[in-house]
Structure 1
Amino acid sequence: MEALPRLRLALVLSAVICFSLLERSSALSSQDLQIVNAERRVSFSFLICTYIISHNVSPSQFKPGIVENIGTPPASEILLAFPPTQVDHLALVKAAVTAGKRKKKSYSPLDVKPKEVFDAPNGAKYFTISLLNPLKVGESVTLEVLYTLTHSLEPFPLEISQSESQLVYYHDSAIILSPYHIKQQITFVKTPSTKVESFTRVDPTDRAGTELKYGPYEDRPPYSFSPTIIHFENNNPFAVVEELVREVEISHWGSLQITEHYTLVHAGARHKGVFSRVEYQSRPSFSGVSSFKHLLAKLPPRVHSVYYRDEIGNISSSHLRTDSRKSELEIEPRYPLFGGWKATFVIGYGLPLPDFLFESSDGMRYLNFSFGCPLAETVVDKLTIKVVLPEGSKKPYAVVPFPVEQHLETSYSYLDVVGRTVVVLEKKNVVPEHNSPFQLKSLDTQGQIPEHVLAHVARCAPITLLLNSIEQSSFKFIASPIRHDVFITLSSANNVSPMPQTSVSFVVAP
């Protein structure tokens, strides 16, 4: 199975869990909590598979008022269990306390962290959800858990011709893996089409149209697991960005320059045989139904100087739509992408710096920018963001709402003296849920003469004579709040220099 090319698929699981504290032991363990009622819904759309699990409390099944407190300690954490085969593919785990229903539903985010448990059954891996308020005996709480997996669909057959549809395997469990007792649960799986080749039956199992129903199952003990395999047709575009490098350069002249380098691949069943463009264009509904030739990049508003090119040169098959709230760039590669085919290209654009750069009263400057990939309906195997700061920036660091690897580098551009500090952020398994803002902070050096500027001035022969009589010279500083330029004017009072007055301008940024 290792030789099988795994599809980079994002799996999203939303779980609404209602836990009740039981009175079984004096020590808090998995036996102290139970899931009363669980309803899980699975749907597939492009690269996203959405699970919705609703655990609801029914008055006939559970009444908090009848549970007595016999001294069991309150529960401050809830455990999430994952099979060991899923842990390496986890891209995102979120949790929130929910209240209300439908339009009046509210969410309170919770902290989720991995937890090491050495005696876990069958090698299960855990995450802990920290509750806002400890759950006392007789109380209940409703949680919603969102987690995303990648590498979770397997194309079968592995190769298809231009006129064939794409079939995939989906592996799951009819029973939710949990360290808690589940009183009742049911699972609904909605496939993209009615063509389902086969599926595992775990009675009771029903099928109607595009929906499979597993359950209801009653009184399942902790760590119950019932594997299922569903083989179905899925011709949605499987666009995967194997590597994306985003360079964000803060210009001295009031602009933010973005350059994005893409390595794109179709991660579905590999194409076999000869490609016929005549057949592809004359029979679009039958030929190459699993291929794709259009991509949509969602860019920030007020974008300008947009270009789209590859190693050959500019690619003219693109359309840009802008308004006051968003910008959308529709691009078309030079050729349609079938399974296993790749394409490399570059997208670049400029943005107004005042829309993203802000200054605080403590002398810090904040860059607010979006993490993730601008291409819609894609998964990124490896994302690297390089933020190039102006020369002279000090103590930069990034604040990202999820774990990433970050380090500093130095780059050199035109007229740089000591080089520009580059903050590098790296993350694997990036999914659309990672498209959230992050902040990069650096210390403002406005109004100061950096030592490297004075050293550079000292290397200039005419200016050296002026620096020898620096006590008799006058300095003028003009700092722009946006461009952060510092213009140094050195004027000799005793005509030490051959010229009556010498002016030198340097660009110094915080």
Structure 2
Amino acid sequence: MRPLAIAAAVLSFTSTALCSEKGNLTKPLTSRLILPSTFKPPQVFKNVNLVHIINLEKGYPKESINVAIENIDSKPQDEYFIPFTSQQMATIGGLEVKDRKDPEGGLFEVEAVEFDTESDTQFYRVRLPTPLAPKTQQTLGISFSYLSALHPLPANIAQNDNQFLVYTFSAYCPSAYVTLKQKTEVKFPTTNIPEHTIIPGGKGEPESPQKAGSKFTYGAFGELPAGAVEPVKVRYEFTKPLIHVSRLERDIEVSHWGGNVAFEERYIMHNRAANLSKQFSRVEWASQQYYNPPTTAIKELKFTLKVGSLTPYFTDVIGNVSTSRFRSNRREANLEIKPRYPVFGGWNYPFRVGWDADLKKYLRKLSSGETYVLNVPFLEGPKQPEGMEYEHIELRVILPEGAENVKYVTTVPLVSDEISFHMTFMDTIGRTALTLKAINVVDDLRDRALIVTYDYPFTAGFRKPLVIFIGFISLFAAVWAIGSVDVGIHGKRS
């Protein structure tokens, strides 16, 4: 972007400080740095105190680590490594690191480093914005989620049975450094937890976990070496669907002439809940709806759209689905839709939804020059109490024909970006399209801002009217030329 003018406009346009955050989250998830399988992080830090929190209240596990680190080296250090297994690296999403004591300071730069395939342990590398001086401490807040990490047990249940999920983790938070003191807290959606691992106490300490309602606490544990693990398995009740979107294609089309921005989202949705042990009974399902019991089926999707959204539509592979409700006023714009059938565990439901909005609510023009700033949510989608996870997201921002010098800012982790051309009706060279791809995203990142800046010359706005005018002139000229051709049959002149 251009220097201070554009930066100031972007900052004033957004209601949050997203564009001022420093971070890796617009960079690919993997770096070009290849480390050998025998790599071990230099022991330049120690974890003074660590609290590991695992939240199982949604259809995916969300983990956070609050850790006070201390530089035990003789030189300032700015690289902190977080270990994961290769399976965890394939399903981890939304990893963010920040200073717990300075939450407004923005996100730290984080990148996944690549390893030889012989190693099962891989790392994310965190770069501290300021090197940590020897014998000083800093408190990090690390958060992330895992996709497809919860498994129903039993895998098949009756239509009215309650569902139980299994999750496996380590009571010792995996770390690349020595940890002096730590504990792990697990938050469950209910108090019905029929199975869990018990860790015997030692040296007069009680066994773990300590229970307080729907919260379990493993520890506190004393000093542990780097890489220490203590496997824990829990099985708990979760009578809700596990909504997994294997692919989401989201288009945002900007029209300066129409003053409109059109949104369209195409979903391939899957319910990862327990499968039905018998055939689905429509009669049994209808009789249950009078008292609305908990169910693992997806029976309704609620879209909380931006105020001012208009003309929504909802279709699936068969056609339009009329079972929907749209409420729009000055305070809200809610779209509630019901799939054509209840989506039980193991079932798929592909569909698309779209709506329009006033472009003035999303676009601003800088006072000087021909630069525009577009602020749209990166992800909207259904807002479900059980949560949603997205395996692949492809977001395409289609700008007016002639837009150039396109740049963007977002705090959603991306794997790639591309600028191409999208041909539509009466285009000449095609509209400029920015395509962004992300993987392993959860709905906690819903409504994160995507800020796009681009230059749109004044003359470019007349490209399409000029093409239409020339087209009509050419058509009339062709009709006149054809009409002036003498196709009659005449006799020979004597």
- If the length of structure 1 is used for normalisation, what is the TM-score? 0.75
Residue 446 (str. 1) matches residue 450 (str. 2): no
Would you say the 8 A contact 1:96–1:145 is kept in 2? yes
- Report the Cα distance in structure 1 between the residues aligned to 2:43 and 2:460, rounded to whole angstroms: 63
Would you say the 8 A contact 2:60–2:389 is kept in 1? no
* CA displacement 1:327-373 (0-9 Å, x = unmatched): 22122112211101122222121110111122222322222111124
Paired position in structure 2 for 1:316: 322
Q: CA deviation at 1:51?
A: 3.0
Paired position in structure 2 for 1:260: 265
Residue 429 (str. 1) matches residue 475 (str. 2): no
Q: After TM superposition, list the pairs within 5 Å mapping 1:389-400 onto structure 2.
A: 389-400=399-410
Residue 370 (str. 1) matches residue 372 (str. 2): no
Paired position in structure 2 for 1:183: 180
- Report the Cα distance in structure 1 between the residues aligned to 2:74 and 2:52, rounded to whole angstroms: 30
Q: CA deviation at 1:450?
A: 7.8
Per the alignment, do residues 258 and 118 of structure 1 end up closer, same or farther by CA in structure 2, a change over 3 Å counting? closer
Paired position in structure 1 for 2:287: 282
Per the alignment, do residues 265 and 144 of structure 1 end up closer, same or farther by CA in structure 2, a change over 3 Å counting? same
Q: CA deviation at 1:121?
A: 11
* CA displacement 1:367-409 (0-9 Å, x = unmatched): 2111124212211122122222222223434333332422234
Residue 416 (str. 1) matches residue 422 (str. 2): no
Q: 2:355 aligns with which of 349, 352, 374?
A: 349
How many residue pairs end up in the alignment? 424
Would you say the 8 A contact 2:178–2:225 is kept in 1? yes
Residue 405 (str. 1) matches residue 416 (str. 2): yes
The alignment partner of 2:222 has SS state of: strand
Amino acid at match of 1:385: L
Paired position in structure 2 for 1:226: 230
Per the alignment, do residues 227 and 333 of structure 1 end up closer, same or farther by CA in structure 2, a change over 3 Å counting? same
Structure 2 residue ranges without an equivalent (≥5): 1-39, 201-206, 478-494
The alignment partner of 2:295 has SS state of: coil
Paired position in structure 1 for 2:153: 156
Q: CA deviation at 1:169?
A: 1.6
Would you say the 8 A contact 2:108–2:127 is kept in 1? yes
Amino acid at match of 1:394: E
Residue 146 (str. 1) matches residue 143 (str. 2): yes
Q: CA deviation at 1:280?
A: 2.1
Q: 1:34 aligns with which of 30, 36, 46?
A: 46
Q: CA deviation at 1:190?
A: 2.4
- Report the Cα distance in structure 1 between the residues aligned to 2:339 and 2:460, rounded to whole angstroms: 49
Would you say the 8 A contact 1:161–1:273 is kept in 2? yes
Paired position in structure 1 for 2:189: 192
The alignment partner of 1:205 has SS state of: coil
The alignment partner of 1:447 has SS state of: helix
Would you say the 8 A contact 1:98–1:107 is kept in 2? no
Paired position in structure 1 for 2:392: 382
The alignment partner of 1:87 has SS state of: helix
Of stretches 140-149 and 196-205 in structure 1, the one that deviates more from structure 2 is 196-205
Structure 1 residue ranges without an equivalent (≥5): 1-27, 58-63, 100-104, 465-510
Q: CA deviation at 1:72?
A: 0.7
Would you say the 8 A contact 1:418–1:452 is kept in 2? no
Amino acid at match of 1:213: T
Q: CA deviation at 1:120?
A: 12
Residue 49 (str. 1) matches residue 61 (str. 2): yes
Would you say the 8 A contact 1:186–1:214 is kept in 2? yes
* CA displacement 1:263-322 (0-9 Å, x = unmatched): 222111122312223322333579772223111112111111122233444323222233
- If the length of structure 2 is used for normalisation, what is the TM-score? 0.77
Paired position in structure 1 for 2:482: none
Q: CA deviation at 1:44?
A: 1.6
- Report the Cα distance in structure 2 between the residues aligned to 1:453 and 1:289, rounded to whole angstroms: 54
- Report the Cα distance in structure 1 between the residues aligned to 2:324 and 2:284, rounded to whole angstroms: 24
Amino acid at match of 1:126: F
Amino acid at match of 1:273: K
The alignment partner of 2:285 has SS state of: helix
Paired position in structure 2 for 1:169: 166
Q: 2:342 aligns with which of 336, 343, 354?
A: 336
Per the alignment, do residues 311 and 234 of structure 1 end up closer, same or farther by CA in structure 2, a change over 3 Å counting? same
* CA displacement 1:447-486 (0-9 Å, x = unmatched): 369889878877745999xxxxxxxxxxxxxxxxxxxxxx
Would you say the 8 A contact 1:98–1:144 is kept in 2? yes
Per the alignment, do residues 162 and 457 of structure 1 end up closer, same or farther by CA in structure 2, a change over 3 Å counting? closer
Would you say the 8 A contact 1:110–1:130 is kept in 2? no
* CA displacement 1:57-79 (0-9 Å, x = unmatched): 9xxxxxx9xx9x9x810122322
Per the alignment, do residues 54 and 415 of structure 1 end up closer, same or farther by CA in structure 2, a change over 3 Å counting? closer
Per the alignment, do residues 396 and 29 of structure 1 end up closer, same or farther by CA in structure 2, a change over 3 Å counting? closer
* CA displacement 1:405-440 (0-9 Å, x = unmatched): 222343333333333232222222221233311122
Per the alignment, do residues 256 and 457 of structure 1 end up closer, same or farther by CA in structure 2, a change over 3 Å counting? closer
Per the alignment, do residues 106 and 116 of structure 1 end up closer, same or farther by CA in structure 2, a change over 3 Å counting? closer
- Report the Cα distance in structure 2 between the residues aligned to 1:339 and 1:40, rounded to whole angstroms: 31
Amino acid at match of 2:187: K
Amino acid at match of 1:95: V
Structure with the bigger RCO (C-alpha within 8 Å, sep 6+) is 2
- Report the Cα distance in structure 2 between the residues aligned to 1:235 and 1:116, rounded to whole angstroms: 38
Would you say the 8 A contact 2:414–2:436 is kept in 1? no
The alignment partner of 1:133 has SS state of: strand
Q: 1:243 aligns with which of 247, 255, 263?
A: 247
- Report the aligned-residue RMSD: 3.3
- Report the Cα distance in structure 2 between the residues aligned to 1:117 and 1:255, rounded to whole angstroms: 43
Paired position in structure 1 for 2:304: 298
Q: 2:216 aligns with which of 212, 217, 221?
A: 212
Greater C-alpha Rg: 1
Q: CA deviation at 1:35?
A: 1.2
- Report the Cα distance in structure 2 between the residues aligned to 1:215 and 1:176, rounded to whole angstroms: 11
Q: CA deviation at 1:117?
A: 7.5
Of stretches 441-450 and 125-134 in structure 1, the one that deviates more from structure 2 is 441-450
Q: CA deviation at 1:108?
A: 2.2
Amino acid at match of 2:377: S
The percent identity for this pair of structures is: 24
Per the alignment, do residues 450 and 54 of structure 1 end up closer, same or farther by CA in structure 2, a change over 3 Å counting? closer
Per the alignment, do residues 455 and 256 of structure 1 end up closer, same or farther by CA in structure 2, a change over 3 Å counting? closer
Amino acid at match of 2:322: S
- Report the Cα distance in structure 2 between the residues aligned to 1:121 and 1:241, rounded to whole angstroms: 31
